[in-house]
Chain A
């Protein structure tokens, strides 16, 4: 499974008597962009939380980058090369763009433990480079994040993930709170990730968006993976049929 970046086998999560995720088998190949769709409560976010280590799974196995993993938290996942753009963005509103991009992995000029001197020039240059690579234009990098629009904030969060993710990016509803124009801008950034060959898992309710952006669509329903659809062989109505239960592939595997 050399070209498989992420694989789950029998991934299950129960919250007491609630079976939020059942026996999910999933594969993501190198450079592939996959969308996860489904109704509210279908198990999409639960699935992402198990992969990124935000929650511990009830049972099942996860392989990432060729080895079986058991992340204890998002930080653990991040250190392995898996970045996640969370719905709440995880940005520090009062810090500027470079400080947010390098939050927790600052470039140091002199190492003095907790009082290490920051290399602000290097972080700023790397920020400019990272934003340029992802196609994001922020007029004033010194502006605190709180002074920015929702779209700009989202772009900074994605640029941060894109700058450091070496193996996989997961985005949980990245455009849910954005307007039409800002959504288009975020979608442009996602396309640059495709061009750079960085694999992506996109959780979204926007069917137009997923058909437009990804290679494959995984449909979740009532905690099960009910379909794995090639984007060239499906359309919005077809996907909705799987989401609502009108159609089913009668399979629990999401691999092609």
Chain B
């Protein structure tokens, strides 16, 4: 006795990440052609006095400029997969940068007392682990508040994280009365500007200033593995796919949501640490609009705003598409104002594409 079913859509579809990767290749190709038309090249080295086949400087800029927002996007991806949204990540970056930088300052600048000092000498020249832990604690705390509000008071994620977005930005401004915080210790500056790649490869692969990229890749790999192979990931997809089914099946949905938002907060904190270490200063306006860039990277990368679908790999490719577009516009000398307009159109376009995919699935299924 069998219950053999008439197969419908049984063939395994092409992985969505492959489609996104093809889009990345296509966009790169378009910019290459536009650059060629203007007499240059987007990808390749056209200078005789610079060695190498590729335009390494441009490639580095592309990946560097997306790596910080990309770290935030890793957390935002997980939040969207569980059917939520996080509008607070940019403000968490601002608040975390200000607070953690305060614990990373040197006591003396050129032999004089630090003019931007926040604390007294007893809290200066601290080991680098202190600002790191303080920063991560700030991010986790903000994420916990988001998660607890959403999971236990049933406030829509949009509203809860909007509140956090405003409050965290307020904290960032209040912390030093709007003044920038500067002069970090060398070890704190080395977090972003050091050469970790060169250090672990004994100088074989020098990568001065590429630490943000390495951190982005490491965190992306870690959370891709977590989403694919662990209970955590399976439950993220289950909750985003059908929250009621997850609850009936015994998953503690509220607790899992709190965990995911706390992780998103900690990743925003990582981004803040990398950002202020890279710039050697923290300002209350840091991270403005980063939340939207991160959401856009995730959506471009195939993460469905209705939850249950998406991957970190997709988001990484989405981040690269974002980077290529921004760098591409610069390469063809498109005015920055137009860049903003086109960026907005891309975000809307990605969401429209997601909605269209969902409608098509609903009609098929």
Contacts and interface: CB of A to CB of B under 8 A. Distances in A.
B33 interface: no
B249 interface: yes
A139 B10 CA distance: 7
A94 B237 contact: yes
Interface residues of A, number: 49
B151 to A, nearest CB: 14
Interface residues of B, number: 38
Interface in A68-113: 74-75, 78, 86, 88-95, 99, 103-106, 108, 112
Given A118-B234, A142-B12, A155 B246 contact: no
Contact of B244 (A75, A88, A147): A88
Interface string A116-146: 1110100000000000001111111011001
B240 interface: yes
B341 interface: no
A143 B10 contact: yes
Contacts of B3: 134-137, 151, 155, 185-186, 188-189
A93 B309 CA distance: 10
Contacts of A92: 237-238, 241-242, 245-246, 308
A147 B1 contact: no
B229 A94 contact: no
A95 B248 contact: no
B9 A116 contact: no
A105 B250 contact: yes
Interface string B1-38: 11111111111110000000000000000000000000
A192 B1 contact: yes
B116 interface: no
Contact of A115 (B12, B231, B238, B309): B231
B6 A118 contact: no
Interface string B235-271: 1011011101110111100001001000000000000
A149 interface: yes
Interface in A4-37: none
B5 A99 contact: no
Contact of B232 (A104, A114, A120): A114
Interface in A37-62: none
A143 B7 CA distance: 11
Contact of B231 (A74, A108, A137): A108
B308 A104 contact: no
Contact of B248 (A90, A94, A142, A192): A90
Given A90-B249, A94-B309, A143-B10, A152 B244 contact: no
A181 interface: yes
Contacts of A149: 5-6, 8
A177 interface: no
A146 B241 CA distance: 10
Nearest to A192: B1
A95 B246 CA distance: 11
Nearest to A147: B9
B65 to A, nearest CB: 31
Interface centre among B6, B309, B361 (most CB of A within 10 A): B6
Interface string A178-210: 000110011011011000000000000000000
A44 B259 CA distance: 39
A94 B240 contact: yes
Contacts of B241: 92-95
B51 interface: no
19 contacts: A86-B248, A88-B244, A90-B244, A92-B245, A92-B308, A94-B241, A99-B237, A106-B234, A114-B232, A115-B231, A116-B230, A120-B229, A137-B2, A137-B3, A138-B5, A140-B11, A143-B10, A155-B3, A192-B1
Interface of B: 1-13, 226, 229-232, 234-235, 237-238, 240-242, 244-246, 248-251, 256, 259, 308-309, 361, 365
Interface of A: 74-75, 78, 86, 88-95, 99, 103-106, 108, 112, 114-118, 120, 134-140, 142-143, 146-149, 151-152, 155, 181-182, 185-186, 188-189, 191-192
Which 8 A-B pairs rank lowest in CB-CB distance, beginning with the nearest?
Answer: A104-B249, A104-B250, A185-B3, A94-B308, A92-B241, A94-B241, A90-B245, A103-B249
